[in-house]
Chain A
Amino acid sequence: MNTKSEELLEIEKIAQGNDAVRKRLLELFVQQVTRQVSQMNYCVQNKDWVSLRKVMHALKSTFLYIRIESHIELIEQIMNTAGEINYTIEQMVHKLEMTCLRLIGEFTLEYEKEFGKLAV
């Protein structure tokens, strides 16, 4: 039985059986999204809504690519309401952060299982 998440399967699909590309994509995803999670938390703490929207735009592109469609709407909601309803924003960002952390964990495990220690 294949127990890989849909997102990991999507990475495999993009890599088309090329292990070097799969390695590079896993590495880039973990590095890029780890940085973006730190940035979005910093933005919320400092109420820097302009920068938060930029981080959301970058995340949206990544999420669209690996088809995490359930969260695209959430990202757009954050982009549209950041700075207006702070309490809701914090909840939405937290929900998004949880998904990012789950993916970072899964992708790191997958990487380290096959390619060794991943430097972030």
Chain B
Amino acid sequence: MQFTFTDKIIKLAVVDDSLFFRAGLVSLIQSQKNLNVIIESSNGKELIDTLAIRSEMPDIVIMDLEMPVMNGFKTIDYLLKYYPEIRILVLTGHNDARFLHHLIDKGVNGFLVKDTKKIDKVTEALNVIYMFKYYYAELDMKKIMSTKNPILQGEEIVFTKRQLQIVELVCQQYTDKEISKKLFISERTVHGHKTVIFKKTSTHSTLGLAMYAVKNNLISM
């Protein structure tokens, strides 16, 4: 289906580490007469390296969040700082209201969840973002806005050295057992530390903690 508000060609960059997903998405996009993919990258670093040597910039970047080398969160921060004129559509497998809230606060222009039902909405989202800047139509905004943004609590959260070590290992996807072996402490102690860390960060899962850690520069990438 053609969904266009403008006759102007909208130039796009697609950033996703799955070649299979990217191929399908690019094919869908290129079937639209006013959309043109000018950059394809498999992670944020590749995108940034490409932008640095190109004269023609994309109007909108379609961005995955979880990618190797440089993930979507870091890449979004970089784009907002150095390429504020480029708009960002996040296309993700995650649907965590708290982090969507955070990304909306940052100024990300739109979100879609990765499945074919929503993928059909990509062309609509791109046109709306190009013309009107924002596309949040597929989001449950009531739920998102009623959720606390974990990053904007207004008070600095202080971590002990041991807590930061555990955050780092949790983000590297080590289990409690593996962390206990690495740090020469009991699994019970690891569990205790994690409970305190989850409470401090208002997170409830490893993924949530990882996202918090990346956003707050608690871990190095």
Contacts and interface: CB of A to CB of B under 8 A. Distances in A.
Secondary structure at the A interface, as helix, strand, loop or mixed, is: helix
Nearest to A30: B20
A108 B35 CA distance: 32
A32 B27 contact: no
Interface in B171-207: 172-178, 206
B178 A16 contact: no
Nearest to A61: B18
A83 B17 contact: no
A25 B173 contact: no
B23 A21 contact: yes
Given A62-B18, A65-B114, A66-B116, A84 B23 contact: no
B66 interface: yes
B24 interface: yes
Interface residues of A, number: 29
Contacts of B173: 49-50, 53-54
A58 interface: yes
A102 interface: no
A72 to B, nearest CB: 9
B116 A13 contact: yes
A28 to B, nearest CB: 4
B172 A65 contact: no
A65 B177 contact: no
Which of B17, B172, B175, B177: most chain A Cβ within 10 A?
B175
Interface of A: 10, 13-16, 18, 21, 24-25, 28-29, 32, 49-50, 53-54, 57-58, 60-62, 64-67, 80, 82-84
23 contacts: A10-B116, A14-B116, A14-B119, A15-B24, A16-B27, A16-B28, A18-B27, A25-B23, A28-B23, A29-B20, A32-B19, A32-B20, A49-B178, A50-B172, A54-B68, A57-B66, A58-B17, A61-B93, A65-B18, A65-B24, A65-B119, A67-B116, A84-B177
